[in-house]
Structure 1
Amino acid sequence: MSTPFFRKLSRYYLIFTACFGAFLLALAMLEKEGMPRLWIGYLFMFATIVLYAAIGLISRTSNVAEYYVAGRRVPAMFNGMATAADWISAASFISLAGGLYLHGFDGLAYIMGWTGGYCLVALLIGPYLRRFGQYTIPDFFAARYGGGFEGRSVRLMAVSATIIVSFTYVVAQIYAVGLIASRFTGVDFSVGIFLGLASILVCSFLGGMRAITWTQVAQYIIILVAFLMPAMWLAVKHGGNPVPQVAYGKLLPQLSAREAQLAHDEKEGEVREVFLQRAEDFGVRLHGLPFSWDSGRQEAQHNLDMVKQRNGSLLEIRAAERALAAYPKSVEEAAVVWTAQRNAALARARPPVKHAEPFPGDSRAQSDQKRNNFLALVFCLMVGTAALPHILMRSYTTPSVRETRVSVFWTLFFILLVYLTIPALAVLVKYDIYSSLVGSDFSRLPTWVSYWANVDKANPLLSISDINADGIVQLAEILIDGDVLVLATPEIAGLPYVVSGLVAAGGLAAALSTADGLLLAISNALSHDVYYKIVDPNASTQKRVTISKLLLLAVAFIAAYAASTKPGDILSLVGAAFSLAASTLFPALVAGVFWQRANHQGAMAGMVAGFITCIYYMLHANPVLGGSIDGQWFGIAANSAGVFGVPAGLAMLVAVSLLTPKPDARTMALVRHIRTPESQ
């Protein structure tokens, strides 16, 4: 595309990239001159938030088409960049490399699933939605599955699904914002959440999809630079090549050799034995409930009394008080806490995961179960991707169906620039830690260890303890949260702190860009599909946009409060959102395009069946939600509940559609229209 608008956008973003490079260079010079690290963190946070706010202010609008779909004039390449930023969420930027670091080959399920999902968007849904030419996903459901009361009922169901899926996803993004802000500005985690929320609201509140689109293009540039710079540095440091993917292939055999060495190291074995004994102790406590809980509580109280009686130091008294305060308050709580602690100890008692070995296990059955979970997760992520409302909304923003198809190509291209680097980064960081940190002296731990250990003292993101008291760091003594790895990579690699600030800005951009899209999807569904289409069809365009802004504000604060409670790790929340989207929306979306016989009753039944099956399995099989691992079907993890929800929803949709009257002539004509190639 070579229109004046395209050339103008290209010029603006080239200038932005040059200015961003100059900003990095200036901060690097200031750091060299002695500027405190905290101020560098403040400058990065302040500068990026001001940038996003400025774009939001410039792009403010009250025009309905501009607010909902950016005027349907976003060029394919820029829509691809915006969609990639919308897609590369906190889970991708912050957690995915950490997941690969911790789980090795098994972590590739996320990359394969999410990338494959975009192929489904291109083939099955995206261009057809653009041909339909409305504002929201519930719009499509209402028009495709009947008018009048039938259209309203299926619209409301699609709105409910959109809200549930998007809200679950956006909580994970805002949680990541709090994590980044608390680390790089020193503010409390909850305060960090609401600081990030201010940036989200300025963009989406003022300009809707128009402001979000142009902000996301800028955010993608920051994401790409922030992710590639430390990866390229580590590639040169350990592989002698600036291309991470090439260095990755060279280092993987060396990493495998190091893993084999650590697996048979005598000192490592000592530490694993300690954790195995701890797991057995927790098992004894669990077996002895409720008496073990009562005796433990009395012992904790006795220890505190004894310290006070012998006039112990203030530190000893505080430690005894903390031990008593942290003790489970009931037998039921003790069962949950001790089970989690036993499982954690058992996990640390196992030899290190072999990074390059697919589906490792102690037996063939265990290996098969890991393989099945891998494939189930890939399936859920692929199908969930093709049903995410905030991603599908971007199909409406291009000028034509052809531009939508080209936009999906650009989206895949821009996503792969990051996604092909993620596995390489995981190996590069793992090799650095295994070769530099493991085996070092505890008295000479690098400073980044203490920084990250103190970010969240209630739930430490990083911990290194001398378990066997030999003064040497063993691999089994290192506990690292997957959400920390990418943010800590510059410090692990020995890069200047300005690069740490850059990575934090990239992580913040990833979280904010996705959160913007998700919040807009929720507020648009409520304002357009509920308020305008059902409550007040005669509302003026100004009133519709105002209602959308107010609803966006309300949803944002509710999501921020939910994130402040730290409901779970980022990847688990994202996995739940994808299974819900796949189970509830995917069957009705695909059938709505490709099967004329699908009707209102079938779509409603399919959405309900898919949602109930997915939710039931999550509650039944997830210990965190009150279920049990023993309740898993075929050993499939709770986050892959969509592997059961999608077939249930599809089967119910087909059965009910065949047992009820076929759609009317108007609906049949609409399906034919959607599937007709655009004449240009």
Structure 2
Amino acid sequence: MSTQLLIYIFVLSSFALYIGIAIWARAGSTKDFYVASGGVHPIPNGMATAADWMSAASFISMAGLISFLGYDGSVYLMGWTGGYVLLALCLAPYLRKFGKFTVPDFIGDRYYSQTARTVAVVCAIFVSFTYVAGQMRGVGVVFSRFLEVDVNMGVIIGMGIVFVYAVLGGMKGITYTQVAQYCVMIFAYIVPAIFISLLITGNPIPQIGFGGTTTEGIAVLDKLDGLNQDLGFAAYTDGTKSMIDIFFITAALMVGTAGLPHVIVRFFTVPNVTDARKSAGWALFFIALLYTTAPAVGGFARINMIETINGADGAGTLYAERPEWVRNWETTGLISHNDTNGDGRMFYSGDDRNEMTIDRDIMVLANPEIADLPGWVIALVAAGGLAAALSTAAGLLLVISTSISHDLLKRNLMPNITDKQELIAARIAAAVAIGIAGYLGINPPGFVAQVVAFAFGLAASSFFPAIILGIFHKRMNKEGAVAGMIVGIVFTASYIIFFKFINPAANTPDNWFFGISPEGIGTLGMLLNFAVALVVFKFTKPAPEEVQEVVESIRYPKGVGEASAH
């Protein structure tokens, strides 16, 4: 059976599974649509949370960044992992006890203000659309190679799939779909990693193989350093970023994770606070399976990529004999060869000898082909890449839908609409959001992981301080929270937009504030948010006594804390 036929079978079977689950678990009420009626068991909810959180950035792009950036790529690994721990331990139980199933709902009620709620809705939509752009781009990348369609057409197909199970199933359908997607995703990530670890190191455990030696007796990291330096790159284990930028990017990813609305809402799909804690623990276990494997996948991919392009002698292979994986990916436009010296050979390097243009987002997807693994492994990776992107896209689109139908309409502009009318509004909002997300996927502002990093920075600078102060500073008032959120997100968004869109030529360390890149500026935005909120609080009245009493009660997160729309 041909590899292409296997790809069609694996991908189409996974799509049929997702759509079937959505039909089986379709939402019949707003509580089904928003929080799956709060009846999901902690283990499947942990798997769904992992799938929701481990997006295309984790599955497709993170190992690609580690492959190309080496040490510098570790900021994504540290930031996203640390952020989930921060969310699980410091925020999720308290938010669950408060009982509001969206971040704008929490902020609106905690800060007793419709203005605060509206600002939070705007922030949630802005963050979610930025994040979903990376997911839809990931869908397009997978489709363009494995289903042999244009990247833009791949995005459109992905929009259709998400439309069916997000609009029909709501959170109930998405939850059980994400359980299936996690199983596909993790199997697709670990199986090729085991194969490649065996080929390169003789060890079937990638995490151990990466820290060991190759079959030639050379330490894997030493080999990576040697290959990089011989070709004009920085040593793989050396960083090129400044310490302050490393710190700020890692911190932005951490606190951004803790402020992501589509992850927070998952803790309301379980029956009580105890189950929310258990769910967080299971999710961390399921996430760790992929995240501890990612450095090995990135490192092994780089060794194989360099050796198959340049040849074992490093001189460049004959163009007529270029590897099959290069020919396959050339059709997508995501890898190309410009024979600058006319010798008919390919050459990949980090200096002016370089003749290759390689999109970082292809590395995990191309890894099985580079290593010449069986066709069924390639097909499995294709299904896994789509599962990663689609799972997070669905969660984000639901946040956008909920923010509009519940937080903006039901809780603000149209409080008298019925449950049925609110459900219709939620589905219409989801459909419109999918259309906008598709446009952003077709016109992405950067690499998948890079785009997602911007979303985390925006979440860090807007939501995180408001949530932290809302839980641990019982006197914090609406004036401080609103002022902080506005200043934080406006500053962060302006910085990113200026360097990425208005004047990208100026996007160099010499022009950054204190040497902080756009990927890390969310940390500075967060600090500004905290500072403005606390200063404004000093000159305004503290929160009312009844609000302070509620805050005092959620500091002891025991009991049911049932999710409420009121």
TM-score (norm 1): 0.77
Which one of 237, 240, 250 corresponds to residue 356 of structure 1?
237
CA distance in 2 between counterparts of 1:184 and 1:114 reads: 28
1:401 and 2:367 aligned: no
Pairwise CA RMSD = 1.8
CA distance in 2 between counterparts of 1:128 and 1:260 reads: 46
1:426 and 2:298 aligned: yes
**How far did residue 184 of structure 1 move?**
1.3
Q: Which residue of 1 aligns with 2:539?
A: 659
Q: List per-residue Cα deviations over 1:214-260 (Å, max 9, x = no partner).
A: 00000000001000011000011111111001111124854454456
CA distance in 2 between counterparts of 1:422 and 1:618 reads: 27
Contact 1:618 1:625 in 2 (8 A): no
1:671 and 2:543 aligned: no
Q: Which residue of 2 aligns with 1:583?
A: 461
**How far did residue 468 of structure 1 move?**
4.1
Q: Which residue of 1 aligns with 2:199?
A: 237
Matched letter for residue 464 of structure 1: H
Q: Which residue of 1 aligns with 2:329?
A: 452
Q: Which residue of 2 aligns with 1:176?
A: 138
Matched letter for residue 528 of structure 2: A
Which one of 336, 339, 347 corresponds to residue 463 of structure 1?
336
Inter-CA distance 130–259: structure 2 relative to 1 (3 Å threshold): closer
Q: List per-residue Cα deviations over 1:440-465 (Å, max 9, x = no partner).
A: 33332111111101113xxxx21234
CA distance in 2 between counterparts of 1:189 and 1:623 reads: 22
Inter-CA distance 546–259: structure 2 relative to 1 (3 Å threshold): closer
Q: Which residue of 1 aligns with 2:285?
A: 413
Which one of 121, 124, 127 corresponds to residue 93 of structure 2?
127
**Pairing of 1:141-540 with structure 2 (within 5 A):** 141-146=107-112, 151-251=113-213, 254-258=219-223, 262=227, 351-357=232-238, 359-360=239-240, 369-439=241-311, 440-456=317-333, 461-470=334-343, 472-476=345-349, 477-540=355-418
**How far did residue 152 of structure 1 move?**
1.0
Contact 1:59 1:211 in 2 (8 A): yes
Q: Which residue of 1 aligns with 2:474?
A: 596
Q: Which residue of 1 aligns with 2:75?
A: 109
Matched letter for residue 92 of structure 1: S
CA distance in 2 between counterparts of 1:43 and 1:448 reads: 21
Which one of 511, 518, 521 corresponds to residue 641 of structure 1?
521
Identical aligned residues as a percent: 39
- Unpaired stretches in structure 2, ≥5 consecutive residues: 312-316, 350-354, 561-566
Secondary structure class of the residue paired with 1:484:
helix
Secondary structure class of the residue paired with 2:416:
coil
CA distance in 2 between counterparts of 1:611 and 1:260 reads: 39
**How far did residue 568 of structure 1 move?**
2.1
CA distance in 2 between counterparts of 1:538 and 1:119 reads: 39
Q: Which residue of 2 aligns with 1:283?
A: none
Secondary structure class of the residue paired with 1:631:
coil
CA distance in 1 between counterparts of 2:363 and 2:393 reads: 22
User: Which piece of structure 1 moves more, 634-643 or 468-477?
Assistant: 468-477
Q: Which residue of 2 aligns with 1:82?
A: 48
CA distance in 1 between counterparts of 2:479 and 2:111 reads: 8
**How far did residue 261 of structure 1 move?**
5.0
Q: Which residue of 2 aligns with 1:325?
A: none
CA distance in 2 between counterparts of 1:64 and 1:260 reads: 55
**How far did residue 431 of structure 1 move?**
2.0
Number of matched residues?
A: 545
Contact 2:42 2:278 in 1 (8 A): yes
**How far did residue 354 of structure 1 move?**
1.4
Inter-CA distance 677–575: structure 2 relative to 1 (3 Å threshold): closer
Matched letter for residue 242 of structure 1: P
Contact 1:259 1:352 in 2 (8 A): no
Secondary structure class of the residue paired with 1:585:
helix
Secondary structure class of the residue paired with 1:463:
strand
Q: List per-residue Cα deviations over 1:172-200 (Å, max 9, x = no partner).
A: 10111111112111222222111111111
**How far did residue 169 of structure 1 move?**
0.4
Secondary structure class of the residue paired with 1:62:
coil
Inter-CA distance 257–90: structure 2 relative to 1 (3 Å threshold): same
**How far did residue 625 of structure 1 move?**
5.1
CA distance in 1 between counterparts of 2:557 and 2:143 reads: 47
User: Which piece of structure 1 moves more, 531-540 or 503-512?
Assistant: 531-540
Contact 1:98 1:482 in 2 (8 A): yes
Contact 2:336 2:357 in 1 (8 A): yes
**How far did residue 676 of structure 1 move?**
2.2
**Pairing of 1:526-565 with structure 2 (within 5 A):** 526-565=404-443
TM-score (norm 2): 0.93
CA distance in 2 between counterparts of 1:529 and 1:69 reads: 14
- Unpaired stretches in structure 1, ≥5 consecutive residues: 1-30, 269-350, 361-368
Inter-CA distance 445–399: structure 2 relative to 1 (3 Å threshold): same
Inter-CA distance 484–677: structure 2 relative to 1 (3 Å threshold): closer
CA distance in 2 between counterparts of 1:550 and 1:679 reads: 35
1:607 and 2:485 aligned: yes
**How far did residue 383 of structure 1 move?**
0.5
Inter-CA distance 605–394: structure 2 relative to 1 (3 Å threshold): same
CA distance in 2 between counterparts of 1:563 and 1:625 reads: 22
Q: Which residue of 2 aligns with 1:13?
A: none
**How far did residue 264 of structure 1 move?**
7.0
Secondary structure class of the residue paired with 2:360:
coil
Matched letter for residue 554 of structure 2: I
**How far did residue 375 of structure 1 move?**
1.2
Structure (1 or 2) with the larger CA radius of gyration: 1
